[in-house]
């Protein structure tokens, strides 16, 4: 079955520390991969996406993600976290020509001052 | 920039009421979606529309219906609201067919049924 797993429900980091959020997927077709961020009470904003090509993709707000096909992973990273990064992060997968987006259950990030 | 606008940020309705959640997008997208978001469950697809007057059930359609009379507008209808439909509702849109890429989301409607 197609699925997206975000194994960490909550993560707490100190401001200025590095961050890695994990995402693993199970998907039969060549995947399109996404990371979204949701601030409290808001909708989802796209951070970055991977369709093809370079497996290291850059996004907004200083985030990057690396696609590792052998591990079926698409982990999100940021070298230095800011207090404003506190939010919930969702990994999602889709494929060309389909409407179906499969979302993980999210990772809530807390940032300590 | 793509804009997806949901008509209400917060709604409080009574059990048994008929509830309409409205969503409008301004980028001529073919696909529109309604998701429900609950803590620990992520986003669950209620209904999807790939064209005017076309709709498909998602993973949790029970208790909901939808309407898409115009390409830019997609409405979610709760025929008889119940307390277990208290949730955050997110509308999204995307391009259709092989051009389909990412989904763009509205700000969400937090619905409370009392």
The pLDDT tens digits for B45-74 are 999 999 998 999 999 999 999 999 999 999
Q: How far apart are CA B93 and CA B112, in angstroms?
A: 24
The residues that bridge with B91 in the sheet, in sequence order, are B34
Q: Does the structure show a pLDDT above 70 at A67?
A: yes
Residue B99 has pLDDT above 90, yes or no: no
Q: pLDDT class for A96, splitting at 50, 70, 90?
A: low
Whether the CB of B108 is below 8 Å from some CB of chain A: the reply is: yes
Can you give the pLDDT at residue A28?
Answer: 75
d(CA B3, CA B101): 16
Per-residue model confidence (pLDDT) at position A40: 87
| A74 to A31, A112, B11, B51: CA distances (angstroms) | 11, 25, 36, 31
DSSP B58: -
- Beta carbons of B107 and B47 less than 8 angstroms apart: no
Determine contact: A27 vs chain B, CB below 8 A: no
CB-defined contacts A:B, below 8 A: 55
Query: Tell me: the pLDDT tens digits for B25-52?
Result: 999 999 999 999 998 888 999 999 999 9
The pLDDT > 70 percentage for chain B reads 96
**Cα–Cα distance between A40 and A14 in angstroms, integer?**
19
Task: Determine what percent of chain B falls in helix, strand and coil, rounding each to the nearest 5.
Answer: 5, 55, 40
Comparison of pLDDT for B53 and A36, the residue scoring more = A36
B24: Cα separation from own chain's centroid: 10
Taking a C-beta distance cutoff of 8 angstroms, is the pair B49, B74 a contact? yes
Subunit contact A51:B103, Cβ cutoff 8 A: no
pLDDT at A31: 86
Structure tokens at B37: 């978001």
């Amino acid at each position: 079955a197609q699925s997206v797993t975000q194994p960490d429900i909550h993560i707490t980091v100190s401001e200025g520390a590095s961050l890695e959020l994990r995402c693993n997927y199970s998907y039969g077709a060549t995947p399109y991969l996404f990371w979204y961020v949701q601030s409290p009470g808001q909708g989802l904003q796209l951070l970055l996406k991977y369709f093809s090509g370079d497996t290291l993709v850059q996004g907004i707000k200083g985030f990057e993600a690396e696609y590792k096909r052998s591990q079926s992973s698409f982990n999100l990273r940021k070298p230095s976290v800011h207090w404003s990064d506190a939010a919930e992060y969702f990994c999602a997968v889709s494929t060309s020509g389909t409407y179906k987006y499969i979302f993980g259950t999210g990772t809530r990030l807390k940032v300590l001052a | 920039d793509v804009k997806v606008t949901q008509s209400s940020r917060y709604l409080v309705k009574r059990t048994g009421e008929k509830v309409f959640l409205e969503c409008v997008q301004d980028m001529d997208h073919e696909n529109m979606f309604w998701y429900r978001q609950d803590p620990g469950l992520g986003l669950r697809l209620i209904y999807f529309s790939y064209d005017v007057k076309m709709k498909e059930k998602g993973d949790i359609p029970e208790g909901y219906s939808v309407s898409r009379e115009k390409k830019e507008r997609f409405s979610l209808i709760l025929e008889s609201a119940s307390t277990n439909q208290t949730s955050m509702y997110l509308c999204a849109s995307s391009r259709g067919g092989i051009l389909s890429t990412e989904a763009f989301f509205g700000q969400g409607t937090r619905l409370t049924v009392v």
